Structure 1
Amino acid sequence: AYGFKTATYILDDGALNGLSNDAPIEKLRALEDQTFTSDLDFKAALSNALGDDKAKQYEAILVTAAAKMNSVLILCGILLFVSFYAVSIGPVMWVLFSELFPNRIRGLAISFVGLVNLTFAFLVQLVFPWQLSNLGNSLTFLLYAIFAIIGLLFIVAKVPETKGKSLEELEKLLVKST
């Protein structure tokens, strides 16, 4: 989120000259050397200069040409997210659920949790493009960071430690605490 928030978008002469010959360069000259601090502001200016259809057609090329951002910070943030997910809640969730649910409902409960997990994954994939185009890059990733922090706090506060405990001990602990 920080990497995208600190990004700027500038269509300078070098960026405009690097565009293909079929790009509407003359219409883009009105935006030359203007600094935009938000991807949403830059895309709105493109729509005003080119019209909605042409702006959508050239949006990816123009954003790439104009973006000045700390790409190493953004790449590291994405890689850290993927690596932390891969060694934590991603795979561990399935083992944890097999330990937390009592034997009599374990199969049904894990199936239900799997359905909820896949439903939310589907919804995130469905909503993500809308978020990027309406909320912008930085706010979208900030929202996901907030949800990750809330999830971490919930896990720390509510999920019991299962290390070194048998399934029977866990069932007694969890049934007693409800």
Structure 2
Amino acid sequence: MGPRTAVADRILLSAMDGYRPEGDWKQRVTAVALRVREAFGRHPQLAAVWGRYASGGTGSRLVMEELLQALSTSGLPDEEIPARYHRLAVLVAALVASEAAIGTAPPPEREQGLELFRVAVFGADPAHFPALTRFGRDILPLGAERAPAFEEILAAQLADVEATIAR
């Protein structure tokens, strides 16, 4: 494990520090995902490192173990748990890394990105981009409302797992 992945693993250790499984499997998965998001939110420059390489250390194993344990109590057949775990891990890593990337951009770069977004949306030719013209006023830039988006996307993935169980 390299120095950057070792630091990322310490962030995962801190995320799991004091964690006690509570609630049903969805509450447990959500709690771990939010803890990981919060921990990397304090160290956004390392979120992409974790998302690219994982860490392989104790922190990583603690997160993996809890997610697998939670999924094991969900009612999923054992043969589906590894694939569902992988989807959740990829989703959380991608969302955390994406949020971190936006958060680490310097203010001038963020403002430039926002201006490019405005030009793309509000400057769209209605003849070529009728849907963009129609919905443009209500579309948010990628950096907006990250917390609710994170939670809603995670909840959708968990609802998909739940639908699989119900079948």
TM-score, length of structure 1 as denominator length: 0.30
TM-score, length of structure 2 as denominator length: 0.31
Greater Rg, structure 1 or structure 2?
A: 1
